[in-house]
């Protein structure tokens, strides 16, 4: 995949965060991959890295001043905003994103970004409370609606001494996102394939305050959707309630209940592939309270349960059944036996089985058994991103065959 970056032109906008120093390593690694880089160094960014250090690494001049007569005569902010394949803002500070969301153009960076007709990618970094602030999240939502791509910040120790979300993404993660963007512009192996992925839990109301749910974080489904999109597929992610960011190049539909997930999954048909990763609640409360159910002097409310739709079985037997239907089996005992029985009962093509008796739900690792009519393929324990990549590769092989 490294060759995808050769001869690409990237405009790097270096924002005013302490993580600006990481851009020096980012520049070096991009240059190793054959990327030609122009750079805008903001006033804040220059407090952390010098123009000379950036210029030495990109082997070109660094642009800083909107009102530089020489720079405007030689390049101009309009040409600077247009003569690149991608604009990367790293680090993207809360202030810089707020100005972008409001269309403010009071310096070279914001003017160039506002004047650009190229894809813009942002790698934010800031204090965790700034990141979680509703104003910042609203600005991010606005920028995403306008088609801007994001490399989400990582969790960990922050420069301010606090711990939380807000660290600049690792260099390799930023480069991987850039590679995925350029890969999506060429004919990937799954180009033209329409794929639906369900992910996360469902919530079934007991009353307006309480609900039945499970511990699914949605991480595995989201990584699968992301990997498929990187291979060029047209991916729709139908997600129960999660705290995860929408993967790049993925259409996301938010749902709450199993019935909503069933309806929206059917609405995506016809499709080439449906992957039911979501941990759907088996039951709903038929007599859910319209108001909050109060304590009843030691008596317990009589909850009447009804069975939820079986999304996997319904899609497997649908009149517009996809060519490939994949289900997930989250088990706590007799994993293989239960998974093989599920394959027969549901009528799907593959079952991805895993033991969730540990910390798989919400954790970062997973151990998979891929069960088909041809047999069982047991994969080693790996992180969920690697599981997603391996499953995406299997789907690619399916279409080749």
Residue 380 Rama label (left phi>0; alpha psi -120 to 50; beta): beta
Nearest to 125 by CA among 15, 246, 276, 256: 15
Mean pLDDT of the chain: 90
Structure tokens of 356? Answer: 């969730």
pLDDT digits (tens, 9 = 90+) for 285-306: 988 888 898 888 888 888 999 9
pLDDT of residue 218: 92
Q: What local confidence, expressed as pLDDT, does residue 215 receive? A: 85
CA distance 214 to 332: 14
**Extents of the domains making up the chain:** 2-184, 194-400
In whole angstroms, what separates CA 175 from the centre of its chain?
A: 15
Other CB atoms within 10 A of residue 334 CB? 11
Average pLDDT over residues 15-36: 94
Dihedral sign, CA of 24, 26, 29, 35? negative
- Which of 156 and 147 is assigned the larger pLDDT? 147
Query: Using an 8 Å Cβ cutoff, are 235 and 249 in contact?
Result: yes
Tokens 């914001």 map to which residue? 110
Find out whether 41 and 62 touch, Cβ atoms under 8 Å.
yes
Whole-angstrom Cα distance, residue 365 to residue 359?
Answer: 8
CATH class of the structural domain 2-184: alpha beta
What does the alpha-carbon distance between residue 111 and residue 113 come to, in Å, rounded to a whole number? 5
Q: What is the distance between the alpha carbons of residues 363 and 394, in angstroms, rounded to a whole number?
A: 23
Residue 1 pLDDT level (bands cut at 50, 70, 90) = very low
In this prediction, residue 271 has a pLDDT band, given cuts at 50, 70 and 90, of very high
Each residue's pLDDT tens digit, 309-367: 999 999 999 999 999 999 998 887 888 999 999 999 999 999 999 888 766 676 778 88
Choice among 12-26, 66-80, 183-197, 335-349 with the minimum mean pLDDT: 66-80
Rg (CA), the chain: 24
More confident of the two residues 273 and 2: 273
95: pLDDT strictly greater than 90:
yes
- Answer for the pair 308, 263: CB distance below 8 angstroms, yes or no: no
- Say what the pLDDT of residue 102 is: 96
pLDDT bucket at 13, cuts 50 / 70 / 90: very high
Give yes or no on whether 2-184 and 194-400 have one common fold: yes
- Is the per-residue pLDDT at 195 higher than 70? yes
What is the pLDDT averaged over residues 375-393?
92
pLDDT of 184 > 90? The answer is no
Superfamily of domain 194-400: CoaB-like (3.40.50.10300)
Strand order in the sheet with 36-41: 62-63, 36-41, 9-14, 86-92, 120-124, 149-150
Q: What is the pLDDT confidence band of residue 77, given thresholds at 50, 70 and 90?
A: low
The values of phi and psi at residue 351, to 5°, are: -125, 130
Q: Does 2 score more than 60 pLDDT?
A: no
pLDDT digits (tens, 9 = 90+) for 49-69: 999 999 999 999 999 987 775
**pLDDT class of 238 with cuts at 50, 70, 90:** very high
* Residues taking part in catalysis: 160
Q: What is the mean pLDDT of residues 369-395?
A: 93
pLDDT at 57: 97
Using CA atoms of 178, 181, 183, 188 in order, give the dihedral in degrees to the nearest 10. Answer: 150
Residues 216-244 have a mean pLDDT of 92
Query: In the structure, how many helices (H) and strands (E) does the chain have?
Result: 14, 22
Only one residue has tokens 């990187």, namely 230
pLDDT at position 162 over 80:
no
Q: Are 350 and 340 in contact (CB under 8 A)?
A: no
Q: Report helix, strand or coil for 211.
A: strand
CB neighbourhood size of 229 (10 A):
25
């Amino acid at each position: 995949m490294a060759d995808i970056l050769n001869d690409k032109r990237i405009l790097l906008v270096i924002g005013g965060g302490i993580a600006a120093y990481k851009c020096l390593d980012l520049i070096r690694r991009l240059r190793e991959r054959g990327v030609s880089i122009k750079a805008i160094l903001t006033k804040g960014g220059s407090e952390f890295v010098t123009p000379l250090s950036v210029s030495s690494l990109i082997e070109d001049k660094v642009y800083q001043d909107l009102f530089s007569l020489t720079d405007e005569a030689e390049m101009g902010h309009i040409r600077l905003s247009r003569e690149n394949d991608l604009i990367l803002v790293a680090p993207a500070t809360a202030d810089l994103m707020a100005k972008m969301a409001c269309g403010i153009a009071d310096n070279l960076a914001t003017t160039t970004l506002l004047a650009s007709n190229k894809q813009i990618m942002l790698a934010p970094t800031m204090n965790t409370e700034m990141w979680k602030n509703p104003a910042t999240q609203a600005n991010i939502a606005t920028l995403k609606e306008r088609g801007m791509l994001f490399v989400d910040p990582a969790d960990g120790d922050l420069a301010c001494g606090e711990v939380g979300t807000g660290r600049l993404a690792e260099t390799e993660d930023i480069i991987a996102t850039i590679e995925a963007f350029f890969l999506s512009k060429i004919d990937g192996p799954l180009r033209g394939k329409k794929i639906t992925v369900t992910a996360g839990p469902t919530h079934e109301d007991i009353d307006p305050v309480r609900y039945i749910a499970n511990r699914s974080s949605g991480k595995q489904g989201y990584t699968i959707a992301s990997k498929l999109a990187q291979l060029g597929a047209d991916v729709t992610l139908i997600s129960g309630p999660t705290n995860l960011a929408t993967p790049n190049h993925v259409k996301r539909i938010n749902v709450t209940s199993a019935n909503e997930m069933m309806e929206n999954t059917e609405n995506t048909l016809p499709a080439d592939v449906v992957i039911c990763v979501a941990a759907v609640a088996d039951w709903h409360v038929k007599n859910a309270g319209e108001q909050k159910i109060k304590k009843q002097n030691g008596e317990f409310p009589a909850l009447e349960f009804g069975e939820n739709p079986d999304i996997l079985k319904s899609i497997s037997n649908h009149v517009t059944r996809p060519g490939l239907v994949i289900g997930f089996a989250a088990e706590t005992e007799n994993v293989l036996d239960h998974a093989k029985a599920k394959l027969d009962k549901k009528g799907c093509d593959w079952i991805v089985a895993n033991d969730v008796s540990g910390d798989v739900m919400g954790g970062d690792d997973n151990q998979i058994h891929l069960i088909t009519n041809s047999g069982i393929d047991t994969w080693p324990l790996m992180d969920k991103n690697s599981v997603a990549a391996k499953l995406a590769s299997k789907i690619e092989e399916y279409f080749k065959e």
